[in-house]
Structure formats: structure tokens, C-alpha cells
């Protein structure tokens, strides 16, 4: 992958970010934290249908009538990216590599945050946590973060996803939207994921090969696992093997979704062949519609 991958697509990504910037803000942040992370504005008398959780007990006690708190939406909300730069990201097949798709996704969201004047922070990880950027605002800072992410490379097998999530929880002091971009081909991160989601809105973006990219029929094929350093030979010429492989992949995705949903994390599967702009536009639009119904 050339180091100019983001620079070559920056103009397109900046324009495309407009289509998701408003959806990212209005369609997501108020989903699970209504009344939290919002600035207190005033009080008014309670009206039938008001949420009783927002009753101001002090004013109510003094006046003898129920009053509710009124909040003004905070627009200065933080986006924090957790980006997987482990060796396995380069092994994901498709029109582009998994690492290139992760960079494209990170850039798209970062430019959307810039357009919303949201502070941006990030951490990248491979076998260890590589780079950490505390949340800040500004176009120059966005470009600095993206440039540093693009230069991240992990020469050793392994994935420090759990450490990256734990570190993110320590860095973020106020409610934030955390987007994890990874292939999630590791275990042991579940506890850190759940703890992070207790205080923040978390989206888990799993990078995968396209669904139309089946295991090749190539006889016996030697496959290397870049994370574990293991080599195995698979009978790809066997229809039984290929069918079982496809079932295993589908079951793996279902288990991963279950892990996310149990921890109040929103899962999003993004293949290397997907249009990231369309996927995120639909994702935030669906969330906005759900908020309206609620």
C-alpha cells in the first residue's frame, strides 16, 4: 500500500463526509444518553407526557408544583477512533485490503467530525498500542492524525485490541462516540469493550472480505495466520469443506454481533468491497429513525 492512499482520496472523502456529518451527530449521540452530556438551560412546569426522570426535585419542593429540567443540546461532542493496524488487516481480500478500507473509513469519519466542529481523537494498535492522539479540534490536527495513522505499521504478530480499548476508556473524560475499526480476529477484548460502552456510545466496525468473495477452489491450499504465525493446509477443492467454511464464517459474524449487542455496542459489518459512504449514511439514518420512533 502506498503511503499516499489517503492523500489520493482526500478530496473525494472530504466531499463524501458531508453526506454523513449531520447524520453522525443527530442520528447517534442522543440515542442512549438522553438528558446526559447536554447543557442545562432552564425549568418549566411539568406537563403530561414529560419524562419523570427530568423532574427538578429542588424546584418542585420549593414551589409545591412539579417542574422539569430543560436541556440545550451540546454540539461539541467528541469522536474517537480505535484503528486496527495489525498484520491480519492486510490479509483481508477484496478490491482493496482491509487496512486500506480501515484508513478510508477513519478518514471519512474524521472529515465528518471536522465539518461538525467535533474534537477528534484516535489510537492505533497492532501487536501493541502504537499511537495515541488526545481529542482536539482543527483541520491541521485532523490531517496530522490521519497522516500518522497511515504511517502506522505493525511488524509483529498479535493484536492489542483489549489494551487499546482500556486505554481509550482512560483517555476520554466526557461522553464520546467511539468507533472501533478492526477485523476483530482476536479474543479477550470483550470485558474492555463492555466497560468502554458503559460511559460512551460505541460503534464496532468489522472489516471483512466481500460476501461474494468465497474460498477459492484451488485444491490443497496453504494458508498462513499472520497473527498466530501458524500455517495450515485446507482442501479447498472439496465442496463439503467450502460449504462448512462459509457456514463457519457466518456463525462467526453472528457470534460477534451477539457479543456487541450484549454490551450495548452497535455492530456494523463493512466489507472491502462496500461503499463506506453509503453504509454509514444508511446506518446513521436508521439510527435517527429509531430515535424518532422512541
The domain in which residue 274 lies consists of 5-29+75-293
* Shared-domain flag, residues 51 and 185: no
> All 3 cell numbers of residue 218?
484451488
* Shared-domain flag, residues 147 and 205: yes
Please tell me the distance from the alpha carbon of residue 82 to that of residue 168, in angstroms, as a whole number: 8
CATH number of the domain residue 191 falls in: 3.40.50.410
* Shared-domain flag, residues 231 and 278: yes
* Shared-domain flag, residues 68 and 199: no
Of 66, 37, 62, 28, nearest to 50 (Cα)? Answer: 66
Contact 121, 82 (CB under 8 A): no
Q: Quick: pLDDT tens for 206-245.
A: 999 987 555 565 665 555 566 655 666 666 666 776 677 6
* Shared-domain flag, residues 81 and 96: yes
* Shared-domain flag, residues 68 and 80: no
| Listed residues 53, 72, 91: the one ending a domain | 72
Domain assignment present for 47: yes
Name beta bridge partners: 80.
Answer: 121, 178
Q: Quick: pLDDT tens for 92-130.
A: 888 899 999 999 999 999 999 999 889 999 999 999 998
Pick the residue with more confidence: 268 or 116? 268
Please tell me the distance from the alpha carbon of residue 233 to that of residue 292, in angstroms, as a whole number: 51
Domain assignment present for 34: no
- For the chain, what is the domain count? 2
Please tell me the distance from the alpha carbon of residue 23 to that of residue 292, in angstroms, as a whole number: 13
* Shared-domain flag, residues 56 and 121: no
* Shared-domain flag, residues 11 and 147: yes
Q: What was the pLDDT predicted at 91?
A: 82
* Shared-domain flag, residues 246 and 174: yes
* Shared-domain flag, residues 46 and 158: no
77-86 b/e (C-beta count within 10 Å ≥ 16 → b):
bbbbbbbbbb
Amino acid at each position: 500500500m502506498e503511503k499516499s492512499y489517503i492523500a489520493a482520496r482526500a478530496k473525494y472523502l472530504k466531499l463524501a463526509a458531508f453526506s454523513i456529518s449531520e447524520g453522525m451527530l443527530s442520528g447517534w449521540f442522543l440515542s442512549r444518553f438522553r438528558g446526559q452530556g447536554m447543557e442545562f438551560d432552564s425549568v418549566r412546569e411539568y406537563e403530561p407526557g414529560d419524562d419523570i426522570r427530568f423532574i427538578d426535585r429542588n424546584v418542585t419542593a420549593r414551589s409545591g408544583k412539579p417542574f422539569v429540567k430543560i436541556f440545550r443540546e451540546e454540539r461539541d461532542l467528541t469522536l474517537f477512533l480505535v484503528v486496527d493496524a495489525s498484520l491480519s488487516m492486510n490479509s483481508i481480500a477484496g478490491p482493496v485490503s482491509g487496512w486500506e478500507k480501515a484508513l478510508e473509513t477513519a478518514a471519512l469519519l474524521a472529515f465528518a467530525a471536522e465539518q461538525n466542529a467535533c474534537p477528534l481523537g484516535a489510537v492505533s494498535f497492532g501487536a501493541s498500542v502504537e499511537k495515541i492522539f488526545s481529542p482536539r479540534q482543527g483541520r491541521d490536527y485532523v490531517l496530522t492524525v490521519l497522516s500518522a495513522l497511515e504511517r502506522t505499521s505493525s511488524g509483529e504478530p498479535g493484536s492489542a485490541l483489549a489494551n487499546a480499548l482500556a486505554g481509550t476508556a482512560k483517555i476520554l473524560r466526557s461522553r464520546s462516540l467511539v468507533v472501533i475499526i478492526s477485523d476483530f480476529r482476536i479474543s479477550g477484548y470483550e470485558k474492555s469493550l463492555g466497560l468502554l460502552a458503559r460511559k460512551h456510545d460505541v460503534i464496532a466496525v468489522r472489516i471483512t472480505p466481500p460476501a461474494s468473495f468465497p474460498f477459492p477452489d484451488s485444491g490443497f491450499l496453504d494458508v498462513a495466520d499472520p497473527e498466530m504465525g501458524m500455517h495450515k493446509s485446507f482442501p479447498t477443492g472439496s465442496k463439503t469443506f467450502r460449504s462448512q467454511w462459509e457456514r463457519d464464517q457466518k456463525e462467526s459474524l453472528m457470534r460477534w454481533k451477539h457479543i456487541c449487542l450484549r454490551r450495548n455496542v452497535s455492530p456494523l459489518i463493512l466489507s472491502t468491497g462496500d461503499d463506506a459512504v453509503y453504509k454509514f449514511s444508511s446506518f446513521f439514518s436508521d439510527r435517527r429513525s429509531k430515535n424518532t420512533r422512541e
